[in-house]
Structure 1
Amino acid sequence: MKHIKHALTFLLFSSVFFSCSSLKTAPYDQYSFQKTVEIKVEASNLIDKAITPYTDHLQEIGDLGLEIEKIIEYEKNKPNNEITYAMWKVLADADKNLLVGFFKRWKDKGQLNAIFVEEAKAQIMQAMDLLIQYESKKDKETKDKLLDLIGSN
């Protein structure tokens, strides 16, 4: 009977350990947090300029695009980082309505309406804020909100 009790205890702890380890989340990463904040600030400033001609800002847009590519490559190669990586892919998808999609629309239209810019900026900044919160907290509530956002895009 004692052996059965030990076996069941071992089985219980093993199943808890392995079930938790399969749901691992990448730990807090100062670089990811800092780069996400920097990209958000740069994007916010650049989005405000979308009421002017796209061609006036080619260098800034190119520089921001390069920063986004770098963070995606960094996030892709971190273990247990599927959620952050997926969110960056959504932000960088030109066919979505978030960050890079906004810049594609600006390029296609040449210049954007101030009301559209204001509304689009609010959505993009909200998405980036959620990513920043997730990167700093790594809590279930923020994770669930981020997964909902990824799923809806």
Structure 2
Amino acid sequence: MIIRQTRCIAIMLMLFFSVMACSTISPFNQRAYEQATSLKAEALMLMDKATNPYSEYQSEVESLRLNLEKAYQYAKGLPKNEITTRQFEILKDPGRNSLGGFLKKWEEESALSAGFVEGAAGLISDGFDTIIELESGKRKPEEISNR
């Protein structure tokens, strides 16, 4: 009887750890969430200035690019975080209609129209929201350990 109970417990533990090991997404990470929300605010505030000459804000743009790269590298270093990492890649890509593309266009054209800035801000805000929602939708570490 005791051997049977021990075997049953061992099987249940193996199943539990197997399921946990097969998780396809990393648990919630407070730092990643804060980076994404801060970057969104920083990016949108800077984008509002894009109707002015790029040269006046070049150092702020470079700072934003650096912070975006830091957030990307942090996300990339987290295990099972490929979806969020891919979203950051899209967001920072200068060849896409995203933040990277917006900053490149601003640099090339010196100043952008208010209509373009407004439209781009909506798209870029949505891109950040995707990252933020991905992170906030993850299970918190305490939720995982309490199961």
| Per-residue deviation, 1:69 | 1.1
Q: Give the Cα separation in 2 of the matches to 1:99 and 1:23.
A: 30
Normalised TM-score (structure 2) = 0.79
Give the RMSD, CA atoms, in angstroms.
Answer: 2.0
Deviations 1:45-100 (A, max 9, x none): 00000100001001100111110111111111110000111110111110011111
Q: 1:77 is matched by which residue type in structure 2?
A: G
Normalised TM-score (structure 1) = 0.76
Deviations 1:75-128 (A, max 9, x none): 111100001111101111100111111000111111001001000100100111
| Per-residue deviation, 1:18 | 5.2
Using the aligned pairs only, state the percent identity: 35
| Structure 1 unaligned residues grouped into runs of 5+ | 1-9, 140-153
Q: Give the Cα separation in 2 of the matches to 1:44 and 1:20.
A: 38
Runs of 4 or more consecutive aligned structure 1 residues displaced over 3 Å after TM superposition: 16-23
- The answer as to 2:93 corresponding to 1:93 is yes
Q: 2:123 is matched by which residue type in structure 1?
A: Q
* 1:43-122 alignment, distance < 5 Å: 43-122=43-122
The alignment covers a number of residue pairs equal to 128
Q: Give the Cα separation in 2 of the matches to 1:76 and 1:131.
A: 13
Q: Which residue of 2 aligns with 1:33?
A: 33
Q: 1:131 is matched by which residue type in structure 2?
A: I
